[in-house]
Amino acid sequence: METFNRSYQLVKESFSVLRKDKEILLFPIISGAVGLILFAFIAISSFSLGFLEDAGNILFLPLLFLYYLASYFVIIFFNTGLVTCANIRMNGGDPKFSDGINNAVKHIGKIFVWALISATVGMILRRLSERSGWLGRIILGIVGMAWGLLTFFVIPVMIFENISVIDSIRRSGALFRKTWGENVVGQFSMGFFFFLLSIPGIIAIVVGILSMMGGSFPLMLIFFGAGVLYLVMLTIVSSSLNVIFTTALYNYASKGVVPQGFSEQAIKGAWKTRSH
């Protein structure tokens, strides 16, 4: 119940920002659509060139890295726009979708560099994980979590403090340690709340599959289509709220002030000291 109450509180407070600026939803929608196009391109290219049959092909890794780079770039670009709009709202302004896009374009060089670094780290961790045993995967998982905490505020730092990507990584880590300390564990998780919300969609998809197996194609279309559409919409809202909350945490970490629409309990309690 404590986990559910905390998740619900974070969703409710983040949704208060989203409710005022529904155009924020356009950022994950476009990002997701472009991401699907990129995935389709890499899948078709891999299949056409025989990479799926021969993963050791010398061209496979460069193509995979380009996919990583493009995917990270798209995600970071549109997250930059979302962070921009959320920050304007939290500081008393009335943002427009164009404000986010314009700011993302303004910082496109930094976005590319950050995407390049993210893609490189992500691919290295992935390749090492594939070649490691269970202990190695646990260690790499811890390394990945540490990297995630170190770079948690890179996007808002990069676009609001006008410093280089490398300096943004350092600044992000410094803000995190200064505000919440070094030995911490996550207190917030919107994922639990949205997992519960996803259950009806999962049930609808299962019913659709069973309907198809039972020979009822119309019922399959109705239930399967409704379930997929519901989960897609839920994913869009969830990703938007996560970025909004990250922006709220950055405002608190950098200014020491709880942003409009959020409670002090939610912001200060985002992380807690790890117990030994």
Res 50: pLDDT:
62
Count of domains forming the chain: 1
Classified as helix, coil or strand, 275 is coil
For residue 55, give both structure tokens: 């993963």
First to last CA, the chain: 24
Q: Helices (DSSP H) in the chain: which residue ranges?
A: 2-20, 26-49, 60-90, 97-106, 108-130, 134-150, 154-160, 165-180, 190-213, 217-255, 264-268
- Tell which wins on pLDDT, 75 or 131: 75
Judge whether residue 154 has pLDDT over 60.
yes
- pLDDT of 202-241, one tens digit each? 999 999 888 888 777 888 888 989 999 999 999 999 999 9
- Tell which wins on pLDDT, 33 or 177: 33
Full-model pTM: 0.84
For residue 217, give both structure tokens: 């194609």
Q: Are 176 and 185 in contact (CB under 8 A)?
A: no
- pLDDT of 108-152, one tens digit each? 999 999 999 999 998 888 888 877 777 778 888 888 888 888 898
Range of the domain at 211: 2-273
Average pLDDT over residues 234-262: 89
Least confident interval from 26-30, 50-54, 225-229: 50-54
> Which among 35, 33, 21, 121 is positioned nearest to 81, based on CA atoms?
21
Distance, in Å, from the CA atom of 194 to the CA atom of 233, rounded to the nearest integer, reads 11
With bands split at pLDDT 50, 70 and 90, how would you rate the model's confidence at 198? Answer: very high
Judge whether residue 184 has pLDDT over 60.
no
Count of other CB atoms within 10 angstroms of residue 41: 14
Cβ burial 17-31 (10 Å sphere, 16+ → b, else e): bbeebeebbbbbbbb
Judge whether residue 189 has pLDDT over 90.
no
Res 266: pLDDT:
76
